[in-house]
Amino acid sequence: MDIPFNRPWIAGPELEYIGRAIAGAHLSGNGPFTRRCQAWLEQRVGCRRALLTTSCTAALEMSVLLADIKPGDEIIMPSYTFVTTATAFVLRGGVPVFVDIRPDTLNIDERAIEAAISPRTRVIVAVHYAGVGCEMAEILRIAEQYGLTVIEDAAQGLIASYRGRPLGSLGHMAAVSFHETKNVMCGEGGALLINDPALTARAELIWEKGTNRRAFQEGLADKYTWVDLGSSFYPSEISAAFLWAQLEHADAATAYRLRVWNRYHEALAKLEEDGRARRPVLPPDCVHNAHMYYLLLAEAGRRPGVLKRLNAAGINAVFHYVPLHASPAGRVFGRTHGPLPVTDALAARLIRLPFWIGLDEGQIEQVVAAVYEAVERL
């Protein structure tokens, strides 16, 4: 492909910081670079505690332990999401209850949540698709009324905000991703953000493999021992050193992405005017982080041909999630509450355009020209 879908971005000091981690002779996790990254997240997101993990998936799995999910507990979530939003819960016997998405942002439709609540409902998962915030005011109101936990899947949401508050700071907990395809990355990585103060102490135990290591090191416990559920959740200092280089430059990275996003958005306005595709919608309550640029083609039946043409032109445009409720495992492990017509219709119409830091003006023009060509010729 001439223009790949994603290219990992290098901020600059990654190797230097990895060198420092090596020189410091601390390569396992929970060292100085981990602490720096966590402090950055706590300060920028305004969460009470940030704990680095090996992935967003691992952070979601920690959140499921913290929410104390038991077999048969139900979790309301969109079907239009990444598979591990659901698998994290299913591992502990939780049952995903899929509801429809909003036609504008493709986020969970908050108007569909209340009807899906049963006596077994424990959690609502708010997935901020493309770094555009869910309708959190209403989601938090429903959760409060029914005594439910809100977990933000903010994998795509770092540095975006809703009504002036950073994504990741709104639910009881949030999971972010530093996977290579995300705005800030370290290959594979993530973080669990804790906002509910009642959860921080237990989060530390689970993160420390179920031991009281931290309390022991701080002199608050007289012996070091196994006290709770846990696992090996944290990344090595090699990953944390890489991530620190990226976090230091996260604002410049977001600014670059916003320029690319705005260029696509302007250049594709005519496609929307002509009724051939719909561009992303940004609600006034949301400041986004330019995580991705997608188009909703007028008809699902045209998507394979459009993608084929773009790929033939050397442009790696791709589709996105196959809705979980329609997947083989989703049918076994989850259920839907009513039909999901918006999910079914929009997931089949969506294409994502190449998006990475370093994509230049000429390449953007090449993509735009190829999109017009591919969409108009069919």
Ligand X SMILES: *Cc1c(COP(=O)(O)O)cnc(C)c1O
Question: Residues in the site for ligand X, rule: CB under 6 A?
Answer: 55-57, 81-82, 84-85, 127, 153, 155-156, 177, 179, 190
Q: Smallest gap, in angstroms, from Cβ of residue 376 to ligand X? A: 31
CA distance 262 to 266: 6
- Closest Cα to residue 29, out of 20, 21, 40? 21
Nearer to ligand X, 171 or 313 (CB): 171
Q: Smallest gap, in angstroms, from Cβ of residue 295 to ligand X? A: 18
Q: Smallest gap, in angstroms, from Cβ of residue 286 to ligand X? A: 16
Nearer to ligand X, 155 or 375 (CB): 155
Nearer to ligand X, 276 or 288 (CB): 288
Burial of 185 (0-12, 13-18, 19+ CB in 10 A): buried
Q: Smallest gap, in angstroms, from Cβ of residue 6 to ligand X? A: 12
Nearer to ligand X, 182 or 213 (CB): 182
CA distance 322 to 8: 24
Question: How far separated are the first and last CA of the chain, in Å rounded?
Answer: 22
Nearer to ligand X, 56 or 260 (CB): 56
Cα→Cα distances 35→38, 43, 197, 255, 317, Å: 5, 12, 19, 26, 37
- Closest Cα to residue 81, out of 323, 350, 340, 333? 323
Residue 8 token pair:
């990992």
Nearer to ligand X, 212 or 246 (CB): 246
Local structure of 104: helix, strand or coil: coil
Local structure of 203: helix, strand or coil: helix
Q: Smallest gap, in angstroms, from Cβ of residue 56 to ligand X? A: 3
Q: Smallest gap, in angstroms, from Cβ of residue 150 to ligand X? A: 15
> DSSP state, 31?
S
